[in-house]
Structure 1
Amino acid sequence: MERRNFKPNSCRLTANGPESVHRAVELAQRFSAHYGLAPSQRAKLSIVVEEAVTNLYDHGAGQAGFEGWLALDDSAGSVQVVLADNGQPFDPRDMPETDMPNAERGGGAGLALIRAWAEIAGYRRDNGFNLLEIVLPA
């Protein structure tokens, strides 16, 4: 097999939202298999990644020249997810927690899932990029 310039725990996000969401979920699945995560943890990681990246495209990636990346790290039994993008500034910690997502349009369901299964550990805007850190406990 030919060796390519490949970072096994990260992937690039491009202006093509569906392709990038697919690439991000594949990364989560490969990462889970490599690090031997339990089946329930594998499912949660894949869903959290899918929801976070989908929200990025649904709410912040409408501009020309969009770019970003997703990185995963196994640290002390937890999984760290870092999502970076040059879309609209958005700190999900500023969104109020509600008991029920918006039933009419489904809004809030992804963020509610992320909050239920993981901790939004940090957000900052740096040099035009959103940097979001999400941690899934062991």
Structure 2
Amino acid sequence: MTARNFKPYRCDLDANGPESVHRAVALAQAFSAEHSLAPVQGAKLAVLVEEAVTNVYEHGGAERGLCGWLALERDPAGVCILLADNGCPFDPRAAEMSDMPNMERGGGAGLAMIRAWAEIADYRREEGFNLLELVLLG
């Protein structure tokens, strides 16, 4: 991952999953407004952030006391989303896609959406944390 200054648009993720998802989406909305993203891009950013953070809580091992952070930055490549969490290792580039989302809870659609709307620029596991970098596609 590239070194960036994410301080202005960063929020912490903690053991309260629903509140963390809410904070992350609010951050994406504030970022979109501040950087005058087109409405479609702003909506995609909010959905990507919601899906990525929700997946951390649904699949990362909540019993472990999940924590981490989300940061957003605008650079020449587009809007960069950096997500760090201490959940179970998960590289979305290597995950197999099922033919159909889970019809009871809709599971599986989020990863497909992430892959369709963002470039997975980097993933690595470092010091017990997943570090995922996404770039929102135009």
Please give the TM-score of this superposition, normalised by the length of structure 1: 0.89
Aligned CA-pair RMSD: 1.4
Q: 1:31 maps to which residue?
A: 31
Deviations 1:91-136 (A, max 9, x none): 1111123443233442211111111111111110000000011111
How much identity, in percent, do the aligned residues show? Answer: 66
Partners of 2:113 and 2:127 lie apart in 1 by: 29
Partners of 1:135 and 1:58 lie apart in 2 by: 22
SS in 1 for 2:81: strand
Give the C-alpha shift of residue 77 in structure 1: 5.3
Partners of 1:77 and 1:96 lie apart in 2 by: 27
Number of aligned residues: 132
SS in 1 for 2:134: strand
Partners of 2:61 and 2:71 lie apart in 1 by: 18
Structure 2 portions without partners, runs of 5+ = 1-6
The yes-or-no answer on 1:123 pairing with 2:123 is yes
1:77–1:128 Cα change, 3 Å: closer
Deviations 1:71-101 (A, max 9, x none): 0010115100000011111111111234432
Q: 1:60 maps to which residue?
A: 60
1:65–1:99 Cα change, 3 Å: closer
Q: In 2, are the aligned partners of 1:15 and 1:61 still within 8 Å (CA)? A: no
Larger-gyration structure (1/2) = 1
SS in 2 for 1:97: coil
Q: In 2, are the aligned partners of 1:83 and 1:131 still within 8 Å (CA)? A: yes
Q: 1:20 maps to which residue?
A: 20
Partners of 1:112 and 1:81 lie apart in 2 by: 17
| Equivalent residue runs for 1:44-123 within 5 Å | 44-76=44-76, 78-123=78-123
Please give the TM-score of this superposition, normalised by the length of structure 2: 0.89
Structure 1 portions without partners, runs of 5+ = 1-6
SS in 1 for 2:8: coil
Give the C-alpha shift of residue 63 in structure 1: 2.9
